[in-house]
Structure 1
Amino acid sequence: MDPRTQLPRIGILANEDSWYFQDLQCAASGKAHVERLEFSALQSRIGVVESISTDALLSENFDAVIVRTMPPGSLEQVVFRMDALAGLERQGVLVINPPKSMELAIDKYLSLSKLSSAGFRVPQTHVCQTWQDAMVAFEEMGPSVVVKPIFGGEGRGIMRVEDADLAHRVFKTLQQMGQIIYLQKFVPHPGYDLRVMVLGDTMWGMRRTSADSWRTNLSRGAHATPETVPAEVAEVALAAVKTLDLAIAGLDFLPDGEGGWYLLEANAVPGWKGLSAACDVDIASKLMDYVVAKIAER
């Protein structure tokens, strides 16, 4: 008998050249058999029994699926992918993160609305569909706002707008492209923010510092250092993850300059390359242990 069949079987939805898949593959040694899956290969056949597959039936070949990428796609593609993952859950496959939770977290408007309703402190935000409404919000929230895509990460598509003429052009262009206009009041900060990685009940903190940009994404050259998570931030981070029902998440906190913090957003497919290096912790191994333990509990 192939000894791998005695180990949990874990599929990882990841890009072909994914550093994260390679990291998880190394972390799985002796713990689980892992295989890379393609989001574009997800398919479903509905009849007597629904079958969801890539190259093979997932429910018959995997105990768990870890979502390690969220590739861009049309609304139909994104909805189908989440529906297919929900189908896997119904068939007994553990999905990390749960698809309903991912749907919530990847939609900046929906997740921020839910977090705000739950009492978390978030930046003043306005979401609308016309450039005229956006201009009214800009005048009320200015003189500086941050415009973001509702879907997206790593700082892609984010723009700071401080000029009314530029705001008019940006908002009108977004409307012509059929985009939702999502703007937040710019929160001045001392050149850094705090990324908190939460896995179950465990967390790690990383300060992201940028000397020459208000954006602190590591992919844009920010510097990462380990940071002890303040008690009040840790409490908010755990509560926010529970509110969104996430198993693993990256939460971004911004200091308000007065000793408090804003919760900017929660990432349901968080990267950990920079955090692992900064905090000297093997996040992939921690995640693999977590998933294997969850499989055993079943």
Structure 2
Amino acid sequence: MWEGSRSILGILTRNPNGFGSSSLLEAARRRGVTSFYFRFRDIIARVGGGPPLQVRGLNVKDINSVIVRPIGRSSLDQAIFRLDALYTMEDLGVHVINKPSAIERSMDKYRSLYLLHKRGIPVPETVVVEDPSIAFEFMRTMPDIVLKPVFGSRGHGSTRISDRDLAWNILREQAFFRHVIYMQRFIPHRRRDIRAFVIGNEVIAAMVRENPESWKTNVAMGAKPKPIKLEGELEDLAIKSTEILGCEVAGVDILLSESGNAYVLEVNSQPGWRGLQSVTKVNIAEKIVDYAILTSKR
């Protein structure tokens, strides 16, 4: 629990006016917690000659917790520095939500699915290669595939392909632009999936997302949310998936196949909740802020 003048909550965001960030700042205000936002470009890192990390004139050591909102697109240099900065915050005693190790695992679709599969979580059959001819050979046993970017969210960049001629052209293009080919077997799913929002070891809210116009079930792609109470096996699946990747706050996407089998598609370590908030009475931002207060180390 926070005490005295050190009760400071930082919101690390690229868009302070976005729904998630503004909701967190408002929730902190209602809780009487001093909060402020900052961007990665506000961070000053030093090795010698001053504090290891400063943000907007504040020594990072004086911050209790930092909630990390979506990092967004970045160059390799930026991605490395941003994760390094989060690791340094953690090393300085700041409670970073989510931990940089969890963000690192979750951002990488291949690594996260590998870790989930290794621990017995059902995930879609996935192939990751650089050679388009090898990928094309796999289409003999996976004739209907979904191509995804290794890093990405909200369904952007995902393409479903079943035509072999078209697939060959796209696979070659992927290789030409030096993209890693990440392909999954398409699972028929009646154009709907489940998003479970997990904080700590609890599913605080969940929704079914249905999209009559497309196989993509992201709200950003036009899917409509409906509230659902997650129980039993599906609830356990969501909680266990977040634990495996080390996430404290996460959105878990679960696909139910037409045959009734459940698959974890993704664990989002920097989840949005605008769609879910529209269909639940739970104030998600307040739940996150309360969790940050409760679990802070100082």
Q: What's the TM-score once normalised by structure 1's chain length?
A: 0.94
| Structure 2 residue aligned with 1:72 | 73
Aligned length: 293
| Structure 2 residue aligned with 1:105 | 106
| Structure 2 residue aligned with 1:51 | 52
Give the partner amino acid of 1:222: A
**In the alignment, is the contact (CA less than 8 A) between 1:59 and 1:92 conserved in 2?**
no
In 1, Cα distance between the equivalents of 2:57 and 2:20?
A: 23
Give the partner amino acid of 1:24: L
Q: Deviations over 1:144-170 (max 9, x none)?
A: 100000101011110001111111111
**In the alignment, is the contact (CA less than 8 A) between 1:109 and 1:127 conserved in 2?**
yes
Higher RCO structure (Cα 8 Å, ≥6 apart): 2
Identity of aligned residues (%): 34
SS at match of 1:228: coil
| Structure 1 residue aligned with 2:22 | 22
Task: Please tell me whether residue 34 in structure 1 is matched to residue 38 in structure 2.
Answer: no
| Structure 2 residue aligned with 1:183 | 183
Q: Deviations over 1:26-46 (max 9, x none)?
A: 111233111111122323111
Alignment of 1:34-183 (within 5 A): 34-47=35-48, 51-142=52-143, 144-183=144-183
Structure 2 unaligned blocks of 5 or more? none
In 1, Cα distance between the equivalents of 2:149 and 2:209?
A: 22
| Structure 2 residue aligned with 1:263 | 264
**In the alignment, is the contact (CA less than 8 A) between 1:199 and 1:247 conserved in 2?**
yes
In 1, Cα distance between the equivalents of 2:271 and 2:59?
A: 24
In 2, Cα distance between the equivalents of 1:54 and 1:150?
A: 30
**In the alignment, is the contact (CA less than 8 A) between 1:31 and 1:292 conserved in 2?**
no
In 2, Cα distance between the equivalents of 1:149 and 1:250?
A: 19
SS at match of 1:27: helix
Q: Deviations over 1:41-74 (max 9, x none)?
A: 3231112776112322442331111101211111
Give the partner amino acid of 1:190: R
**In the alignment, is the contact (CA less than 8 A) between 1:7 and 1:31 conserved in 2?**
no
SS at match of 2:160: strand
List structure 1 segments (4+ residues) > 6 angstroms apart after TM superposition: none
Give the partner amino acid of 2:194: L
Shift in Å, 1:113: 0.5
Give the partner amino acid of 2:12: L
Structure 1 unaligned blocks of 5 or more? none
SS at match of 1:287: helix
